[in-house]
Structure 1
């Protein structure tokens, strides 16, 4: 079953085309890494798909329907740098924000909502920081809080924009453990990712982007030297065989 279908998606900033006629479909229960050079449009693609960035053409369907009717099934983890971490709030309140679809914007969270938030924090090993101000957290801890906020929604389709960027080893292990658990539950996850060496280990599918869709499919078949060279605009020097999806890293 396709949970996401993108048809001829194009986006521009002023007169500069950032994404050019992207078309692809994502199957349920897959874990997809989105890779490409800086400026390739990876974050813009996610924002355009989610209606956070205006598109100039194209259609996007979630489970065969428009975004508005499927928002409750979608979770989003933005780039950590896009968040105002000086905002005066604590960890448990940030995670509880993921439940506002259930709570309602003009109502206060109840005990059951707090319990759900604490359970999400436990999954990312952050329960002891529940009352900590978010400005007092390290970068890795902040990333885990935002991951918990997405998890508490109990969505079916997740978009994560560079969750591994600038995090410590513990946070990276926590994130990949959560991603694997989501996949085991039949959830679908798309992740903007930069570390090419970990792509074969972390993702069963890969989407290779440079303003246009270069390649998309199972990692073992798609993550090749030829596709990498086309994506990054030159020859990629890599130890190992031609098919990078089959090498051990």
Structure 2
């Protein structure tokens, strides 16, 4: 029985006066790659932010490795939605990745060459070494996302939260991101990803959390990702996209 790396009990959250999450309970096992799936407005981003203390909770408790977040912060990494970042900030790709090391460097000290090398290696792993000194505002959306993920890699966390890392990126970037997520999993890391494309859920994630303001189902993808559960999550008014398209190779 592996220890739960994340334990969420009775979590609820609201925006203004609307309750967007209620009665959220789950334990996440280590070494898993979980897709968080649900309709627009289901509270997927809010779930990540509330778990991480970036959005206030109304009720509930969250434990990371059986500890409160402040004790294990260095073991937890977060990649927010690309749209929530000010990409006009005048800095280059290498500096953005190096910022991921501030837990190790300390805020007021300059990064050493060893830190710079680490950041450069992470860029290289995401296929972005040639862009190390490019201003982030000059990168494409897919390139910005790769830089963002390199920054998460460099943190060497044990548990990662990623909010729609594959939204609006090109096919090559999506493949690079998935290769990296599977590599993290193979290293024993745990990753929770908000994901919007139902057609790729089976190929990408070994666990799935179906969310519509509360958890509809959570568990192994092969058991949970069924027509009935998806229909329940999306309110039954969507054409199920799995079976008939499942064997069609997406045109890249």
Distance, in Å, in 1 between the alignment partners of 2:232 and 2:210 is 9
State the Cα deviation string for residues 207-241 of structure 1 (Å, max 9, x = none).
00010110100000000111111111114434666
Contact 2:96 2:147 in 1 (8 A): yes
* Structure 1 gaps, min length 5: none
How far off its partner does 1:248 sit? 5.7
Distance, in Å, in 2 between the alignment partners of 1:173 and 1:232 is 27
Distance, in Å, in 2 between the alignment partners of 1:218 and 1:11 is 26
How far off its partner does 1:19 sit? 0.3
Counterpart among 32, 35, 39 of residue 30 in structure 1 = 32
The alpha-carbon distance between structure 1 residues 8 and 239, as it changes in their structure 2 partners (threshold 3 A), is closer
**Aligned pairs, number:** 246
Alignment of 1:73-84 (within 5 A): 73-84=75-86
Q: Which residue of 1 aligns with 2:118?
A: 116
Counterpart among 63, 68, 73 of residue 65 in structure 2 = 63
Distance, in Å, in 2 between the alignment partners of 1:222 and 1:216 is 7
SS of equivalent residue, structure 1 residue 7? strand
State the Cα deviation string for residues 173-209 of structure 1 (Å, max 9, x = none).
1000001100110100000000000000000000000
Distance, in Å, in 1 between the alignment partners of 2:87 and 2:48 is 22
The TM-score, its normalising length taken from structure 1, stands at 0.96
Contact 2:10 2:22 in 1 (8 A): yes
* Structure 2 gaps, min length 5: none
State the Cα deviation string for residues 2-21 of structure 1 (Å, max 9, x = none).
10000000001122101011
Q: CA RMSD in A?
A: 1.5
Contact 2:231 2:240 in 1 (8 A): no
Alignment of 1:77-226 (within 5 A): 77-226=79-228
State the Cα deviation string for residues 148-179 of structure 1 (Å, max 9, x = none).
00000010000000000000111001000001
Distance, in Å, in 2 between the alignment partners of 1:23 and 1:240 is 27
The alpha-carbon distance between structure 1 residues 224 and 137, as it changes in their structure 2 partners (threshold 3 A), is same
Distance, in Å, in 1 between the alignment partners of 2:235 and 2:47 is 20
The alpha-carbon distance between structure 1 residues 240 and 93, as it changes in their structure 2 partners (threshold 3 A), is closer
Q: Which residue of 2 aligns with 1:50?
A: 52
Contact 2:10 2:24 in 1 (8 A): yes
Q: Which residue of 2 aligns with 1:9?
A: 11
SS of equivalent residue, structure 2 residue 23? strand
How far off its partner does 1:81 sit? 0.1
The alpha-carbon distance between structure 1 residues 236 and 7, as it changes in their structure 2 partners (threshold 3 A), is same
SS of equivalent residue, structure 1 residue 45? helix
Distance, in Å, in 1 between the alignment partners of 2:70 and 2:171 is 37
